Amino acid sequence: MAANDITIPKKGIAKTKVLSKLKEFAKDDPDYKKLKTWSLVYFLGDDHSDFLMKAYGQYLSANGLNPMAFKSLKRLETEVVRMTANLLNGGPDAAGVMTSGGTESCLLAVKTYRDMGRAEKRIRRPEMVVPETAHVAWEKGAEYFGVKAVHAPLRKDMGVDVEAVRKLLTRNTVMVLGSAPEYPHGIIDPIPELAAIAYSRKIPLHVDACLGGFLLPFMEKLGYELPLWDFRVPGVTSISADVHKYAFSAKGASLILYRNLEILKHQFFIYENWPGGVFASPALLGTRPGGAYAAAWASIMALGEEGFLANTREIMKAAEKLKEDIRAIPGLAVMGDPKTAIFSYSSAAKEVNIFAVADQMEKRGWHIDRLQRPDALHIMVTPLHLKVTTQYLMDLKLSVDHVRRHPELATRGGAAMYGMISHIPLRGMVKKTVLKMFTDMYGPDAKMIDPGETTLEGEGPVEQPDLATRAAMWYLKLRERFKK
């Protein structure tokens, strides 16, 4: 069925049947409850999920658009912001808002510092200096808000090169970015050094702690030695932290915090001449789902400091076991020296193709995230992963051994496709091809694949190649065309 063939049913379908259909649609989605997914989902078990659904449901129709209407939502937001600000040592002047996710938090920082640069320094061609490992949301923010992203290279330890950052600063720099930790390899950037440089030039420094905001503070409380990265560092002007990651809330909950209200005011949007009335918005969204506020508040309150500490113990026990044993597997290497539960590992031997290892792991039922530049596999650990750590490591050893014995696997299947897309030199053409793929996926002629739908020959389920695979297929065709 094509997307443009879908219409509203003439007669409503029974709710039980609708729910059954939803369950059917999800049949081939990653089964995160079996704990074989190492990203996308932060799952604490059915009891916690049921609790979050009840909290969310109580505010299902509540709208955070007008903080003067649903006063309970403003209270929930204020308490979540204040608890997080205190956790991150923001002091009494810290201020911020809840957002729909890490991407919105990052976008808001770009918008805020662009406008602050305009207002205070009359900057008309804004730039921001970001590490090469900065989350892609910062690239999106740069494109959306017309800010040039200037990329700083990495040091050997995979943290951003501070001296390179210093040299990249100009009179047009509206902000500097550091991550705590960055997504690809779990490295905490040298925030004190970055902050010193930024502070000396009167340039704001944002710390992207969307991953670490609700993990690093509790690691520190447990005695882990970590570099300073939060508001204790002079020069840090804002921090983003996702509640729906290591605070285990329902999806759609993040925060952006500023050192003071004077910075936050550059984030606000106000339009006083609309016929519908004076309009003011503190963040990107107009309507903001009240359920997300309620679930975020509920998760933090239900866990409490003891719950966060207990979760962090389990997380780090699993993460340290994984890193230690992966380092011990001949042919593999953990990238850098990640201190947290987010890390990646790559091949340390020519005969072990890391993407072929990923293929073998997926055959054993694991959902594997692949990285590029350099090629690697990615892991984000949650508390329940401790239950499957031993099995993961056993399967990983078997997969590496199998790939070592069968080097031809590097030229087959996903390994060949991912390896090719990672190293295609024509990056601009890759971007155009992915744009065409998205156009096809979201256009009126997009084909809808039902779970379990078979090929015309009835030989099994239809498989939709992912973007990387499709782009690699395109590149192969292009290369053959040039050969001719």
CA–CA dist 440, 435 (Å, integer): 9
pLDDT higher than 90, residue 387: yes
Domains and CATH numbers, the chain: 1-30+424-484 (no CATH), 56-301 (3.40.640.10), 309-412 (3.90.1150.10)
| Cis status, amide bond into 9, omega within 30 of 0 | no
Looking at per-residue pLDDT, the higher value among 141 and 278 belongs to 141
Give the pLDDT mean for 418-434: 64
Query: What pLDDT sits at residue 453?
Result: 45
Query: What pLDDT sits at residue 455?
Result: 36
pTM score of the predicted model: 0.88
Q: Is the Cβ–Cβ distance between 464 and 441 less than 8 Å?
A: no
Question: pLDDT grade, residue 420 (50/70/90)?
Answer: low
pLDDT higher than 60, residue 464: no
Question: pLDDT grade, residue 3 (50/70/90)?
Answer: low
Query: What pLDDT sits at residue 481?
Result: 54
> Letter for the amino acid at 110?
V
CA–CA dist 206, 194 (Å, integer): 10
Query: What pLDDT sits at residue 460?
Result: 42
Query: How many C-beta atoms lie closer than 10 Å to residue 254's C-beta?
Result: 28
CA–CA dist 163, 168 (Å, integer): 9
Tokens 């609700």 — which residue? 214
Residue 279: strand pairing partners = 271
Full DSSP string of 406-435: -GGGGGSHHHHHHHHHHH-S-HHHHHHHHH
Q: What is the pLDDT of residues 233-269, one digit of tens each?
A: 999 999 999 999 999 999 999 999 999 999 999 999 9
Looking at per-residue pLDDT, the higher value among 32 and 214 belongs to 214
Reference 41, options 382, 439, 389; nearest CA is: 382
CA–CA dist 151, 236 (Å, integer): 19
Looking at per-residue pLDDT, the higher value among 35 and 302 belongs to 302
pLDDT higher than 60, residue 483: no
The secondary structure of residue 384, as a DSSP letter, is: G
CA–CA dist 250, 242 (Å, integer): 11
Angle between helices 467-483 and 427-442 (to 10 degrees): 120
